[in-house]
Structure 1
Amino acid sequence: MEDLRALSYGLGQQYFEERDYRGAIRALRPVVEETPEDVGTRLLLARAYYHAALLKPAEEQLLEVLDREPTEYYAHLMMARTLERQSRAEEAGKHRRIAAALTGDDELLKPHNA
């Protein structure tokens, strides 16, 4: 089963790199269901959802990542971008501030389209 999971993850990563985000979602979703504690795979799935403009599922995956790894700065940044795309700038600001504090990079305070 480990080999199948690794194969699915590799396929998901390849689809993501080729910008086939829906293909990445199809490959990664079963991996995340089987290994919910795998934050890296869940974050890649969230990114695929985001790029496929499936913002609610992206937000749900990011909430899971942040629940497991509250200091994962990139998850905070992705959450901010996801919320901004949903016109939820006030909520996004909190995640931008956390990402900036975790990295020391004040550039992260600027909205993605700025």
Structure 2
Amino acid sequence: MTEPFDITQPSEIDLHSEYLRADLFFAMGQSTEAARVLQPVVDAEPGNQAALELLARSYYGAAQLARAEDCLTRLVELAPANGWARRALARTLERQSRGADAAVHHRVADALGAA
């Protein structure tokens, strides 16, 4: 005999499904909702570069620049040769009026051939 499903117990989230759901929210221009859905995915998989990048893009799109900077800094630490992450970090720093900090990342992005 099977046990009945207990709806009072929290179920594990399907990280891939949540990533796809966040990607859909982001594509629809709902950056804040995308970030809300994606944060638990990044918390569960902190080394997942795709999830971290989408979270950074979501925070940037929602003008949550300090959070975007944190995600992009972590992404650059995980993948120092990621030119896109360097360029995005530089632009995030510029939006916070931190041009001198941004210049370093622009130079590295240029050296890596990032657009």
Number of the residue aligned with 2:49: 39
Q: 1:20 aligns with which of 11, 16, 30?
A: 30
Paired amino acid for 1:100:
D
Provide TM-score, normalisation by structure 2.
0.86
Per the TM alignment, residue 27 of structure 1 is displaced from its structure 2 partner at its CA by: 1.1
> Structure 2 stretches of 5 or more lacking a match?
1-10
CA offsets per residue over residues 48-71 of structure 1, 9 Å max, x none? Answer: 001100000000111111111101
Provide TM-score, normalisation by structure 1.
0.87
Per the TM alignment, residue 82 of structure 1 is displaced from its structure 2 partner at its CA by: 0.3
**Alignment CA distance shift 1:47-1:96 (3 Å):** same
Task: Give the SS at the match of 1:53.
Answer: coil
CA offsets per residue over residues 41-92 of structure 1, 9 Å max, x none? Answer: 1011001001100000000111111111101111101101100000001111
CA distance in 2, matches of 1:92, 1:71: 16
> Structure 1 stretches of 5 or more lacking a match?
109-114
Taking the TM superposition and a 5 Å limit, the aligned residue runs for 1:49-88 are 49-88=59-98
Task: Give the SS at the match of 1:56.
Answer: helix
Following TM superposition, the consecutive aligned residue runs of length 4 or more in structure 1 with deviations greater than 3 angstroms are none
**Alignment CA distance shift 1:102-1:7 (3 Å):** same
CA distance in 1, matches of 2:83, 2:12: 28
Per the TM alignment, residue 2 of structure 1 is displaced from its structure 2 partner at its CA by: 8.7
RMSD over aligned CA atoms reads: 1.6
Q: Percent identity?
A: 37
**Alignment CA distance shift 1:3-1:54 (3 Å):** closer
Per the TM alignment, residue 40 of structure 1 is displaced from its structure 2 partner at its CA by: 1.1
Greater per-residue helix proportion: 1
